[in-house]
């Protein structure tokens, strides 16, 4: 069966395209989680800074869930919840969709 969606830069089979897409979403979630952790870690490391519990309350989550985020447990978080947490942490999340670079 011919490739029903012949997009440059994507795998040929539907199963491989799905796996490729899932990997890209995982990478996007990882990038946002890294940014959130980078924003919060200095606060947590400060001697007179807030506790994990206090930050978790401000972000609208439990302390254990915040701890998992700080440990970069990507699979626990969906992209929409990560974006909401980032916004509450004072970050702006921008998603750019573009066509893959095409070699001429």
Q: Which domain holds residue 18?
A: 14-88
Question: Is 5 domain-assigned?
Answer: no
**CB proximity list for 18: less than 8 A, separation 6 or greater:** none
pLDDT band at 17 (very low <50, low <70, confident <90, very high): low
Lowest-confidence segment of 16-20, 59-63, 84-88, 89-93 by average pLDDT: 16-20
pLDDT of residue 70: 96
In a domain, 94, yes or no: no
98 within domain boundaries: no
pTM of the model: 0.75
Quick one: pLDDT at residue 1? 47
pLDDT of residue 92: 94
Q: How many domains does the chain have?
A: 1
6 located within any domain = no
């Amino acid at each position: 069966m011919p490739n029903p969606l012949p997009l440059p830069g994507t795998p040929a089979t539907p199963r491989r395209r799905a796996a490729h897409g899932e990997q890209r979403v995982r990478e996007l979630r990882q990038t946002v989680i890294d940014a959130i952790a980078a924003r919060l870690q200095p606060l947590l490391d400060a001697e007179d800074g807030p506790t994990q519990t206090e930050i978790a309350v401000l972000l609208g989550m439990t302390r254990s869930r915040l701890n998992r985020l700080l440990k970069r447990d990507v699979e626990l978080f969906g992209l929409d919840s990560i974006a909401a947490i980032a916004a509450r942490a004072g970050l702006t999340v921008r998603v750019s969709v573009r066509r893959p670079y095409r070699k001429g």
